[in-house]
Amino acid sequence: MGSSTLSLQIAGLSLDYPGMLASGVLGYSAESMFRVIEGGAGAVVTKSVSLQPRCGYANPTVVQVKSGLINAMGLPNPGIQVYAEEIRRSKTLIRQPLIVSIFGYSAEEYAVVAGKAVAAGADALELNVSCPHVKQTGSEIGQNAALLFEVVKTVKATVKVPVFVKLSPNVTDIVHLASTAVDAGADALTAVNTLRAIAINVETTRPILNNIKGGLSGPAMKNVALRCVYDIREKLANIPIVGCGGISSWQDAVEFFLAGASAVQIGTAIAFDSPKVFQTINQGIETYLKKKHLRSVNEIVGLSHH
Ligand code: RRO
C-alpha cells in the first residue's frame, strides 16, 4: 500500500506513488514493468506501439554522453496485434495503472491502435507525438498544431480512458502546442520527450549513432524539461502535467512539482541505477513533505509560481 502522503489522483487514475515509469525504458514486457512497480513506481508507461511492427534502426542506437544518453531506437515494437497479449499479461501481474504509449502515421491509425490497446486492458493512453527522429510520426505531428489537434480529437472520440499527450521540447512555443492538445480534449500532458541531439566520434570523425541524430535524455536535459513544465503551468492552470526529463533524485522530482507537475516520469535514471530509484525518490519526497509539515504532494504542485 502507498502512504497517503504520496498517493495522488491524476486524470482519473489513482497512483500510490507519484513516479511513473517513462516510456521507452523497461516497458516492453509484463515482467519488466512488474519489476518497476516493485521498485516503487506508481504507474507504468509502455514502450510506444504502432499498428504495424517496426524493427527500428540498426546499431548503435544508444550512446552515453556527459550526464545523459542519446538514443535513436527508431520506434522498434512488435505491433499492437502482438503487443495486446503483453498488455493482457501485464494486467494479470500489475494492479497499478498501465498506460500504453501509442503512435501512428495518421489520426485514424492512432485511433485504431488506441482502440486495440484499450480493448486489451490499457487503463490510459499516452500519445507519442514527440519522437524526435522518425519521419511522418512523432514530433512531425507534435510540432504541427493542426495535425496534433486532429490526432488528439480523433483518439478522444474513440476511447473512454484518460488520454495523456506527450509533448516535444524541440519546438519554439511549447505552450501553444500544449493548449492545442488541451483544446482537442487531452486529459493530461506529459512534458517532455527527448531533446534532439548528436554525438561525434573524434577518432572516426563520424556521428556515433547509426541514425546520426537522436534524442538526449537524462540529467543533461533536466532544466530544459523543467522550464517546459513551468511555461505550460504558467499559462494553463487546470490541465494535469506529468513532468519528465532527467529526474534522478527526490530533489529533481520536487522541483518538477514546484514548477507545476502533479506527477513525474523516470526513465534514464533506471538505466543508470535500477528500478529501486523509485523507492529512494519516494522516501526523499516523504521526508521533505514531513519536514515542511505538509500532508500531500498536491500541496506543493505549482508552488514556485506563487
Ligand atoms: O524509439 C525511439 O527512438 C524513441 C522514441 Br519512440 C521517443 O519517443 N523518444 C526517443 O527519444 N526515442
**Under 8 Å between Cβ of 270 and 21:** yes
Q: Say how many Å lie between the CA of residue 90 and the centre of ligand 1.
A: 22
Q: Say how many Å lie between the CA of residue 289 and the centre of ligand 1.
A: 34
Known catalytic residue at 55: no
Q: What is the mean pLDDT of residues 257-278?
A: 97
Q: From the CB of 158, is ligand 1 less than 6 Å away?
A: no
8-305 classified as CATH 3.20.20.70: yes
For residue 218, with 0-12 CB atoms within 10 Å meaning exposed, 13-18 middle and 19 or more buried, which class applies?
Answer: buried
Main-chain dihedrals φ then ψ at residue 54, nearest 5 degrees: -135, 135
Q: From the CB of 73, is ligand 1 less than 6 Å away?
A: yes
**Under 8 Å between Cβ of 21 and 41:** yes
Q: From the CB of 72, is ligand 1 less than 6 Å away?
A: yes
Q: What is the mean pLDDT of residues 152-181?
A: 98
Contacts of residue 48, defined as CB under 8 A and 6 or more positions apart, other chains included, come to 23, 24, 75, 77, 101, 102, 103, 128, 131
Q: What is the pLDDT of residues 35-56, one digit of tens each?
A: 999 999 999 999 999 999 999 9
pLDDT band at 3 (very low <50, low <70, confident <90, very high): low
**Under 8 Å between Cβ of 124 and 20:** no
Please state the length of the chain.
Answer: 306
Q: Say how many Å lie between the CA of residue 283 and the centre of ligand 1.
A: 30
Is the Cα torsion angle 213, 209, 191, 150 positive or negative in sign? positive
For residue 76, with 0-12 CB atoms within 10 Å meaning exposed, 13-18 middle and 19 or more buried, which class applies?
Answer: middle
Q: From the CB of 215, is ligand 1 less than 6 Å away?
A: yes
The closest-lying atom of ligand 1 relative to the alpha carbon of residue 75 is 1
All structural domains of the chain with their residue ranges: 8-305
- What is the residue with the minimal CA distance to atom 8 of ligand 1? 131
Q: Which helix (H) or strand (E) holds 198?
A: strand 195-198
Whether the full predicted model's pTM is greater than 0.95, yes or no, is yes
Q: Tell me 218's DSSP state.
A: S
Question: Can you tell me the distance from the alpha carbon of 113 to that of 40, in angstroms, rounded to the nearest whole number?
Answer: 29
Residue 86 confidence (pLDDT) above 70 = yes
Q: What is the mean pLDDT of residues 198-203?
A: 98
Q: Say how many Å lie between the CA of residue 111 and the centre of ligand 1.
A: 20
